[in-house]
Chain A
Amino acid sequence: MAIQRCSQARSIQSLWLTGDWFGRLSARKGRQRSVHMMRRVFIAAILFVAVWAPSLLVAAEAGRADLMGKLCGDAASLGDVGRALVGIAADGSQDERAWATPVARAVIDRKLTCDTKGAVVISGEGSFDALTREQRVAVEGGRSPFLNLKNRALFETAVAALALRTAPDPTQRGAALRTLERQAAGLPEHLFEAAAEQESDAGLRAQMTAVAQAAALNSADPAKRIGALKRISATPDRRALTQVRALVADPAYAGDPEFKRAVDAAIATIERGITAGDVLAALYNGLSFASILFMAAIGLAVIFGLMGVINLAQGEMIMIGAYVTWMVQEGLRRLAPALLDWYLIIAIPAAFLVTAAVGIALEAILLRHLYRRPLMSLLATWAVSLFLINLVRVTFGTQNLNFVTPFYVAGGVPVIGDFIFTWNRMFAIAFAVLTLGITWGLMRLTPLGLNIRAVTQNRTMAGCIGIPVRRVDTMAFGLGSGLAGLAGLALAPIYSVNPQMGQNFIIDSFMVVVLGGVGTIVGTVVAALGIGQINVLIEPMWGAVAAKVIVLMMIIAFLQWRPEGLFAIKGRRK
């Protein structure tokens, strides 16, 4: 690698020495014919810059002096200066904009003094000449130009337009954009396009593009409007639809058939895009909801399948997982701030092990004695859930915990319409898939999984052939609790984390287990997907509550048909 770089440097050196830059480059690519052509263009460009740049510079200098003169003139000429400053913001070079920014600001603040030698900008660090930037003090007897209401508005626009291009802080540029947005029609059309092009902040750039498009839509030139329509229908969303719909009332819509066609086509395209986006968004939301349901339910399913015990404290295991994640985050903040963004990954073993330990303790102390009394174990686990909620409430307080949003779960990619492929949901989905993979692997490929399956199918028989049933129970309970802890971790960045959070999942995840059938991973997956998607599909029609009611009714009805759930292990019905 080093040798290669070295030889590259040498060849570049030789290129400079021989002056045969293009020749060498294109010779290597084997495109001899274009060499002369390119060389010619290159030379022409150099000539152009050499001849024209100084003259441009001179022209700018002359323009500035002229502006300074007008700045110290009457109200009408001040207005001209305001418009010219807006023009500079849109068309001027970077140098010109840097020059104009303090001048425009100073006029508004009355920090500009006109004297016999020109104009002086008074500032805290020392006054300087407005034209030449040289340090100097204003000559006695100077006066500040006075802005009337109309000119003040003009200058404020100019300051905002300049800030849009030159301000270093994105929030300042955002504020400037909001000021300018309201009067976009009166501004040079390409101001926003130019600003959007050089904008570094993605969100702000999207806003700028939107404003630019809106400005182009209302421009006087029909060709430009049609062009803007085409561009706007390439990114269909609800905002674009309202913008384009408003054009139907435009006089040009009735008068110009070509414009009418363009508007109609744009509306159709945008509506198609929005529908596609809505469908995708519903599917995506359903998938992410299903993955959360799955993670909350898989631990429950393992435990229920194995021991016939419904663990009402499972929601609290989720809560503990989220709290452990938070503690890992706070620990990293103190000890290794550089790793703070990775707390979600680092917390994975911690969340799993802590909740698994809590689960094992719960099993050993309490549930071990209740295996033949499943209804009592319901009450016992509820007592544990009550205890844990209040313990956490007393220790940490009831307020929601604050989580850092790491860069890998922040933001999203707008796909089509209003559908944004958000990374935090993707994180939940990916995490659920990972959990599924690990659980499946554990259950299918390890001796523990084999034992768990054996005890699930026939506890007595498994005991007879020498499987340590009690130990399998304990391990499985730990596994189920640990999986719930992982669900808590996945929920941490997308859900409000407080002592009560587990309560919201518990009934939904029971429904998943009951619907999926006892002790089958496939059943849990299918039930979670089904409930998640149905919920999300019904929600926009009748609301979240109706969705829950309908889903529950469907589950009860379904249990009529298959009382043991979707994927029951075949056996005799009692």
Chain B
Amino acid sequence: MTEKILMCAPDFYGIKYEINPWMKIEIQSDYEKARKQWKALYNILKNDLKVDVQLVPPREEVPDMVFTANAAVMYGNKAIIAKFKYPQRQPEEEYYADWFRENGYEVITLPDGMAFEGAGDALYLNGILYSGYVPRTDIAAHTYISELLKIPVISVELVNDNFYHIDTCFCPLEDDYLIYYPKAFDEYGNKIIETNVPEEKRIIVNDEEASYFTCNAVNVGKNIVTNITTKRFSDLLASKGFTHIQTDMSEYMKAGGASKCLTLKI
């Protein structure tokens, strides 16, 4: 079955505010370079990996709308729309909800005051929704979603400010493999991962690789698309039967995002 991914062109992308440790207004993104990097990722997904890429229209007042991973978490035809923690991103919620409604999805919204940042903080692995909490998502949202969808939701606390969404440090792959960065989790989170994911399925990134947002990967079948990273990581993926595709995401790293943040599987 063809994978379907939602993206948003970076027409209005830029570092307009600071809501994570990576964002510095004085370190602005380069407009043309950012467009080229986004287009390269789009072409890899659409042309090389034959993904059905859908586009939500960009809006001028929300520069981070390019990071569609945060739009929602999907469950079949249901889109559970984000409730952004920071007011700067909250206008995105309605734009995403409109797009999902117009495209035939059932839109579900969480109660007011319950922060939840979509698939940036909620990723499926082996039938369980692993969800990050504290920096951007309230743990109460995990319980709400579990009861709403009747699915198991495992909560893992994110303890490293640089890895403020779970998709920056935890990436489930095909065949229940997992790329992750242990230092982004506390001892309880690591114990959960070690208990639930067999050792041979765990692909651990080191400090250098984590700093390139290597965990922020797009998985299409046996293909893994990441920012430029190390040969060690490529070799590790190859040893597990995956093909590694690297594409420069440096302009998006300035906002604390990389390839996965620019995509949402729908």
Q: Do A and B come from the same complex? A: no
> Which residue numbers of B lie inside 8 Å of A, CB to CB?
none
